[in-house]
Amino acid sequence: MWFDILPSFWEGAKVTIELTLFSAVMAFFLAFAAGFGRLSKHKAVRILATTYVEVFRGTSLFVQLFWIYFALPLFGIMLPKMLAGVLALSLNAGAYGSEIVRSTIISVPKGQTEAAIALNMTPWQRTRLVILPQALVMMLPAFGNLIIEMLKGTALVSLVTLSDLTFVATVLNSSIMRPTEIFSVLLVIYFVISLPFTRGIRWIEHRLSAGRY
């Protein structure tokens, strides 16, 4: 039996990993854009960023996904399953991520900005050379959590019939009716996929904080 079903799990795993990676990259950009947007001195930018964050944090990922996949077509926007999945996941994670970005940036001690001003750095130099490198290290653990959250969130896309791991497992189960084995394997595979992410983040964190204490 295993000989037959493992290849389909492999296909599902590839979809899940792809989804996670694409969404992570996009969520990362959204998180920075919205995080900086909320700290902007322009009111319009702040309002835009805040609206995005509040809307996507305040509604469920499940509903967002359905809305993007089933409701958007009514406005004439038809998205491929994969794109709809990546969009829902990254918009959702980006909203949470922006809070990580915003809170770590404001938690860099004020004296750092003052020292940068005293050295006559431009606002962009202050951010790039002094604030961001320190904020990034603080962001990493939280971003690590977020990526794991997102990996697990990808299971939801099976509901729009995207053939990820969970989808494969449900389909297999309905044909061979061995839920214990199939869902145990599913658990293990998710765990195995999440490991490199956790390890990777920890490694980067370690590298970036070299010499600081």
In terms of CB distance, is 51 or 122 closer to other proteins? Answer: 122
Q: Interface with other proteins includes 123 (CB under 8 A)?
A: yes
Contact stretch for other proteins (CB under 8 A) within 7-15, 66-74, 107-115, 199-207 = 107-115
Among 2, 75, 191, 213, which residue sits at the site for other proteins (rule: CB under 8 A)? Answer: 213
Q: Interface with other proteins includes 137 (CB under 8 A)?
A: yes
Q: Nearest-5° angle of CA 178, CA 179, CA 183?
A: 125
DSSP 9-39: HHHHHHHHHHHHHHHHHHHHHHHHHHHHHHT
Contact stretch for other proteins (CB under 8 A) within 60-68, 94-102, 190-198, 205-213 = 205-213
Measured distance CA(119)–CA(155) in Å, rounded: 50
Q: In 3D, which of 187, 63, 206 has the Cα closest to residue 144?
A: 206
Measured distance CA(106)–CA(35) in Å, rounded: 10
Among 1, 42, 75, 120, which residue sits at the site for other proteins (rule: CB under 8 A)? Answer: 120
Measured distance CA(103)–CA(94) in Å, rounded: 14
Among 73, 80, 133, 141, which residue sits at the site for other proteins (rule: CB under 8 A)? Answer: 133
Q: Interface with other proteins includes 211 (CB under 8 A)?
A: yes
Q: Interface with other proteins includes 111 (CB under 8 A)?
A: yes
Among 122, 161, 184, 198, which residue sits at the site for other proteins (rule: CB under 8 A)? Answer: 122
User: Six-digit token pair at 148?
Assistant: 């794991």
> Closest distance between other proteins and the C-beta of residue 132, in Å?
10
Whether 190 and 151 have beta carbons less than 8 Å apart is answered as: yes
Q: Interface with other proteins includes 107 (CB under 8 A)?
A: no
> Closest distance between other proteins and the C-beta of residue 121, in Å?
6
Measured distance CA(79)–CA(13) in Å, rounded: 22
> Closest distance between other proteins and the C-beta of residue 38, in Å?
21
> Closest distance between other proteins and the C-beta of residue 199, in Å?
23
User: Six-digit token pair at 51?
Assistant: 């609206």
Q: Interface with other proteins includes 121 (CB under 8 A)?
A: yes
Q: Sign (positive/negative) of CA torsion 117, 121, 123, 129?
A: negative
Give CA separation, 193 vs 24, 101, 122, 185, in Å: 14, 25, 42, 12
In terms of CB distance, is 14 or 206 closer to other proteins? Answer: 206
Provide the binding-site residues for other proteins, judged by CB under 8 A. Answer: 109, 111-112, 114-115, 117-123, 125, 129-130, 133-134, 137, 208, 211-213
